[in-house]
Chain A
Amino acid sequence: DVKVTQSSRYLVKRTGEKVFLECVQDMDHENMFWYRQDPGLGLRLIYFSYDVKMKEKGDIPEGYSVSREKKERFSLILESASTNQTSMYLCASSLQGGSNEKLFFGSGTQLSVL
């Protein structure tokens, strides 16, 4: 089975800090995604990457950046954390985006910005 690993389950940061969320997948997937999940709003796409060093903005990229230096690793960066970035962050991957390919998710990082 595909394993998508997020480095932290819980994080507490201060306003203004630079925050790194790491995600690693072990199945040579081309596509990787970062979502945030908020009550009543569902999952919203922040950024995605379809290849090493390639990235595309999702629906809510403001305040975030990403890095994909290696195929298996996709990092989400909060340049200057703010309280409205308190959320559950979910990383996902898929093989190539074919119609029969599932999305696989990590277990999530609950980030609190104080």
Chain B
Amino acid sequence: KQEVTQIPAALSVPEGENLVLNCSFTDSAIYNLQWFRQDPGKGLTSLLLIQSSQREQTSGRLNASLDKSSGRSTLYIAASQPGDSATYLCAVSGGYQKVTFGTGTKLQVIP
């Protein structure tokens, strides 16, 4: 059974800092990996999707990498802003509907 872990559970950084969020998974036979953002009391917004054949994806200040062999993904946020404060979740797809979510990293960016 796939297990997805995100450490740390919470992170607080000063504005402007570059930061890395981590996601690890136990089964490397994945279809894709997605990073989501969730604001308090809201749904999830897809940030980046990396297919199993890819190594990284970029969108603006966000860069996500994938290393299937080691079961790890990172989300890099450059020049963090207070508006980046949210919970970030990674989700690993084992194909079709088998998506396993991590419990998230709650990020606070302090002005």
Contacts and interface: CB of A to CB of B under 8 A. Distances in A.
Contact of A40 (B31, B96, B103): B103
B52 interface: yes
A42 B103 contact: yes
Contacts of B34: 102-103
Given A90-B44, A100-B32, A106-B43, A50 B49 contact: no
Contacts of B95: 97
A107 B99 contact: no
B43 A42 contact: no
Interface residues of A, number: 27
Contact of B41 (A43, A100, A110): A110
Contact of B43 (A33, A48, A102, A108): A108
Given A97-B96, A110-B41, A104 B46 contact: yes
A40 B9 CA distance: 10
Describe A's contact surface by its main secondary structure.
strand
Contacts of B103: 40-42
Contacts of B49: 100-102
A101 B44 CA distance: 15
B101 interface: yes
Interface residues of B, number: 25
Nearest to B51: A99
Contacts of A48: 97
Interface in B84-111: 89, 91, 93, 95-97, 99, 101-104
B97 A99 contact: no
A4 B51 CA distance: 23
B45 interface: yes
15 contacts: A31-B97, A42-B102, A42-B104, A45-B97, A45-B99, A50-B96, A90-B44, A99-B53, A100-B49, A101-B49, A103-B34, A105-B45, A107-B43, A108-B41, A108-B43
Interface of A: 4, 6, 31, 33, 40-43, 45, 48, 50, 56, 88, 90, 92, 97, 99-108, 110
